[in-house]
């Protein structure tokens, strides 16, 4: 009998992408059956498209969980984390019966927002694993959570070496209990089929020189204030470097302004970018409204640098394709990721915020973009990105550290299945 594992991501592309990739690896490389639950409440079209793609392997079954009505439980102005927690809490209710109906899988792999599933799985004697979709640095801050059991990490030995060592040594030196950790990354979105717009973007990239493009993209929901977006656009223009700008309507409130609305937000960048910007930068710059197929852009040889909000998926995608970064963190644990990438790993640089102004000014953006595209500092971080690209792919290959970590866990499941 084949080993059967269930996978439960939180809503949102950020967590879904690595959990789906882990599910695919289990099916394709380790011969396991996987049922992946899709939280349909507030799901974006991009999420549904990804999870119902005809290219998913046959032994990976996506199960749509019944949508839940959370309107009576959250106010209109509730923040993103509140909405997420309520959505998860309500969607969790049928989990026990669904797991029983599925014949109790050998393991359940969850993501950070689903810690309540530990209790249900304990009752059913199903071992639960968490794919920690952020950095190891962030994990060290969350280790006190009493509900943590076993954890997979979307990282690899050569990338966060010191932090992994620190976690493993905690029980010996500080008497702090830590869960077993299995670095199995980088798990990133595979190159997806190009949409019409995506194909146009790649055709444009095909005409650009090697390593000449700066990609500016702030994750699935990141937005800037009006003032900051204006400075960014001017900085790009003044730098006279080539770029792709994923433009999103500015929000003067939350920096995660369009998290649940990635594909519904069809907008006209002319309405909020500086007057004449698109015309003046034509040929040098390409403006993509709301969304670009980021992996397709990052893997293209014309892409040289990525100005990123440092979400963990974006970070891993950039490194997988050897692209150094300008770190522009916005919310959640992104500042921690940015500090790690700049100060520890040496694969990114960070802009300076104008004193007392609260924005990065156009002159600073111009300076930084030129420096990273043309200067010595750019060469240094590019060199580091190439080293990490190599170590990431080695780790995932047969015999590599990440492949080996996953192989050992699968072996445990296989053995327990035979008992």
Residue owning tokens 């204006």: 230
From 128, 136, 217, 230, residue interacting with ligand UDP (rule: CB under 6 A): 217
Kindly report the number of other CB atoms within 10 A of residue 178's CB atom. 17
Q: How far apart are alpha carbons 306 and 298 in whole angstroms?
A: 8
Contact characters 271-300, ligand UDP, x per CB under 6 A: --------------------xxxxx-----
Do residues 129 and 150 touch, judged by C-beta distance below 8 A?
yes
Dihedral angle of Cα 403, 24, 179, 105, to the nearest 10 degrees? -130
**Binding residues for ligand UDP, total number by CB under 6 A:** 19
Tell whether residue 365 is a contact of ligand UDP (CB under 6 A).
no
Rounded least distance, CB 37 to ligand UDP, Å: 19
Closer residue to ligand UDP, CB minimum distance, 311 or 322: 311
Rounded least distance, CB 323 to ligand UDP, Å: 12
Tokens in use for 95?
């989990």
Chain residues 303-362 in contact with ligand UDP, contact rule CB under 6 A? 311-314, 317
Within 8 A by CB and 6+ apart from 258, the residues are 221, 223, 248, 249, 251, 265, 290
What CA–CA distances, in Å, run from 67 to 38, 42, 64, 87, 88? 10, 8, 8, 9, 11
The one segment of 212-220, 232-240, 272-280, 409-417 that binds ligand UDP by CB under 6 A = 212-220
Tokens in use for 320?
């997988």
From 17, 139, 213, 286, residue interacting with ligand UDP (rule: CB under 6 A): 17
Tell whether residue 219 is a contact of ligand UDP (CB under 6 A).
yes
Tell whether residue 221 is a contact of ligand UDP (CB under 6 A).
yes
Closer residue to ligand UDP, CB minimum distance, 105 or 222: 222
What CA–CA distances, in Å, run from 305 to 214, 300, 326, 327, 348? 5, 11, 7, 11, 9
From 3, 5, 9, 14, residue interacting with ligand UDP (rule: CB under 6 A): 14
Rounded least distance, CB 399 to ligand UDP, Å: 27
Do residues 326 and 348 touch, judged by C-beta distance below 8 A?
yes
Task: Return residues touching ligand UDP (CB under 6 A).
Answer: 13-14, 17, 189, 217, 219-221, 246, 291-295, 311-314, 317
């Amino acid at each position: 009998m084949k080993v059967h594992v269930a996978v439960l991501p939180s809503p949102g592309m950020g967590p879904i992408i690595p959990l789906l990739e882990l599910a695919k690896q289990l099916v394709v490389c380790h011969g396991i059956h996987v049922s992946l639950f899709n939280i349909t409440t507030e799901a974006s079209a991009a999420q549904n498209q990804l999870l119902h793609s005809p290219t998913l392997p046959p032994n990976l079954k996506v199960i749509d969980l019944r949508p839940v009505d959370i309107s009576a439980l959250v106010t209109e102005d509730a923040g993103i984390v509140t909405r997420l927690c309520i959505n998860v809490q309500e969607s969790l209710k049928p989990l026990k019966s669904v797991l029983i109906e599925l014949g109790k899988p050998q393991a359940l792999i969850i993501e950070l927002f689903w810690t309540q599933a530990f209790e249900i799985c304990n009752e059913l004697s199903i071992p639960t694993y968490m794919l920690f979709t952020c950095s190891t640095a962030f994990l060290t801050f969350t280790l006190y959570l009493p509900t943590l059991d076993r954890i997979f990490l979307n990282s690899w030995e050569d990338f966060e070496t010191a932090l992994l060592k620190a976690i493993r040594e905690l029980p010996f030196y500080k008497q702090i209990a830590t869960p077993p950790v299995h670095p199995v990354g980088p798990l990133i979105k595979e190159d997806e089929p190009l949409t019409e717009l995506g194909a146009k973007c790649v055709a444009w990239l095909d005409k650009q020189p090697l390593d000449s493009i700066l990609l500016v993209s702030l994750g699935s929901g990141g937005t800037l204030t009006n003032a900051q977006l204006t400075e960014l656009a001017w900085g790009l223009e003044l730098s006279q470097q080539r770029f792709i700008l994923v433009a999103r309507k500015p929000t003067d409130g939350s920096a995660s302004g369009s998290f649940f609305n990635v594909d519904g937000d069809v907008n006209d960048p002319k309405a909020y970018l500086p007057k004449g910007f698109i015309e003046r930068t034509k040929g040098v710059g390409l403006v993509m409204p709301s969304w670009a197929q980021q992996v397709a852009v990052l893997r293209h040889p014309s892409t040289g640098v990525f100005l990123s909000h440092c979400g963990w998926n974006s970070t891993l995608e950039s490194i997988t394709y050897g692209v150094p970064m300008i770190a522009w963190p916005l919310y959640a644990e992104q500042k921690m990721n940015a500090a790690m990438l700049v100060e520890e790993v040496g694969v990114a640089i960070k802009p300076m915020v104008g004193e007392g102004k609260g924005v990065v000014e156009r002159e600073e953006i111009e300076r930084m973009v030129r420096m990273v595209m043309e200067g010595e500092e750019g060469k240094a971080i590019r060199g580091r990105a190439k080293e990490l690209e190599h170590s990431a792919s080695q780790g995932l290959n047969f015999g590599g550290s990440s492949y080996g970590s996953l192989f050992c866990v699968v072996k445990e499941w296989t053995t327990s299945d035979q008992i």
